[in-house]
Amino acid sequence: MARFTQDITARPDDIDELGHVNNAVWVRWIQDVAVAHWNAVAPPAHRDAYIWVVTRHEIDYRGNVKAGETVTAETWVPDPPKGARFDRHMRFTDADGRVKVEAVSTWAMLDRASGRLVRVRPEIAAPFLGD
């Protein structure tokens, strides 16, 4: 499967009253990295024609990140889509390789013009599935 990575540094406004990255920020980062992956590998015609929405998040919080600390986000799509949907896996690790957060999100593809769900055709999925 094709993997995509991106480094993210926690800013002071990402931090909650407990002194670490807020759970809602992790959700935002999951979406931001997934969109960056789509924009990095999907051809312009696909980016113009389709948009993705999250239908489900499953998140495991395994450690804390403080302001100024950097994590590496890694995302991949292990299995072909089912109709309009596929599961995207995500892992955030610190500089020592310790896992801070792991997630699986289900995404659905919409036709940008109509807003309707559309089946993910093999040529759309291929850049995300191959190595």
Look at phi and psi of residue 26 and say left if phi exceeds 0, alpha if psi is from -120 to 50, else beta: alpha
* Residue 73: burial class (beta carbons within 10 Å; 0-12, 13-18, 19+): buried
Instruction: For each of the domains in the chain, give its residue range(s) and CATH number, in order of start.
Output: 3-128 (3.10.129.10)
The tens digit of pLDDT for each residue in 31-79 reads: 999 999 999 999 999 999 999 999 999 999 999 999 999 999 999 999 9
d(CA 17, CA 91): 24
The tens digit of pLDDT for each residue in 8-22 reads: 999 999 999 999 999
CB 83 within 8 A of CB 90: no
Two tokens, residue 95: 């500089």
- Shortest CA distance to 9 belongs to which of 47, 74, 65? 65
pTM of the model: 0.93
